[in-house]
Amino acid sequence: MAPDARPAPKQWQMGVSTFERVMQHHASIRALWETKWREPCRRSVYPFHDGAFTDFEPVFQDLIAGDINDGTSAAYTRAFIPASPQVSDGPKWEAWELQKSIYAKAGALWKPSPLEEVDIPHTFAKGRDRTSIPTYVRVPPSNDGRNGQGKFPAVILLTGLDGYRPDNTTRSDEFLARGWAAIIFEIPGTADSPADPFDPSSPDRVLDSVFAWMAADGRFDLARVLCWGLSSGGYYAVRAAHTHREKLLGVVAHGAGTHHFFDKEWLAKADGHEYPFQLTPALAMKHGYGTDVKTYLEDAQRRFSLLETGILAQPSTRLLLVNGTHDGLMPIEDSMLLFEYGSPKEARFFTGALHMGYPMANSSVYPWMEQVMASTK
């Protein structure tokens, strides 16, 4: 542990009653449906356990086989919300593969900025990393936003524990509207990420490979690249702000866990908070511990904490921290902690809001990104 590392707080900012409570949706599948999923599922299909997927598969196959045009493409992007990311075989993984097929079919028709599926060579891969980085890329339709050499500013979007590449159409549209390219890929231990989830340095190698590809591709203004990490992706965004500070003009860490998030006192209660299911089994799988939740709880903070591993003591690029003060998954203390180390930071916290600070958060993120991008013109 770093010499000045703080112990886990005795009392969390969210207050004892909020920290201790078990949210209503954990009572049963029926409660989960009624409190969290009924309204979203009017627009999408969520195969929330393995057996349920077979009931929905004919719908997915019809979408893949059916005709699609500009008028129907939006419906295809809402085919279903991804199943749990830790399952790399069986019906849930099949659901993920079908989702990508449906989404690609729709994205190919988006004019004038169609979806590009790019397998970026993972030239810096080592150990248990795989050799390519499946990525979605979209570029603006005109010279709007380009620099003098005809290259586009870009935003690297790091996805979360359950939200992946096909779940960010709106964000990529927002980037394109501002003249920025969108480059989207998953974080270690989820979906198609090639990074070894058990190796804390594996995301650094992924970014090295992505930047090498961007330079070789030639469409991107490497002096104006931002990174936005969502939820679990916020952790990797904070890391990138330090490890790749010379390559990133700015970083948004949105709902980030950095140190206290890995504490077993916190995780013991986080299982009953916003996440639809038990959080700790999902996190153990995501971080390379398989089904060994006990070892994850004992070992994760030592291995992954950005404080204990010394990352936070390094200087960083410009870094915006965004979250709700009552986030029950990634404690607000993990954003506040960053103000005690390294370079000065910026933040927007939303009092009483839950994980990610929705629905208010984006109203702070996009103006900040615009200001940072404009600072180099």
Catalytically annotated residues: 231, 327, 355
State how far the Cα of 56 lies from the Cα of 45, in Å rounded to an integer: 8
State how far the Cα of 356 lies from the Cα of 150, in Å rounded to an integer: 35
Only one residue has tokens 């707080």, namely 9
Helices (H), the chain: 16-20, 29-32, 53-65, 73-76, 90-107, 169-177, 202-217, 232-243, 264-270, 279-286, 293-304, 333-336, 362-374
152-158 and 116-121 strand pairing: unpaired
Distant-in-sequence, close-in-space partners of 265: CB < 8 Å, separation ≥ 6: 8
Q: What is the largest CA-CA distance in the chain?
A: 62
Helices (H), 244-361: 264-270, 279-286, 293-304, 333-336
What's the burial of 9, exposed, middle or buried (CB within 10 Å: 0-12/13-18/19+)? middle
CA 96 remoteness from chain centre: 16
Number of H helices, E strands in the chain: 13, 8
State how far the Cα of 180 lies from the Cα of 369, in Å rounded to an integer: 11
- Residue closest to 1 by CA, chosen among 309, 257, 262: 309
132-138 and 250-254 strand pairing: unpaired
346-350 and 132-138 strand pairing: unpaired
What's the burial of 269, exposed, middle or buried (CB within 10 Å: 0-12/13-18/19+)? middle
Q: Is the Cβ–Cβ distance between 181 and 137 less than 8 Å?
A: yes
The two three-digit tokens of residue 337, written as one number:
């902690």
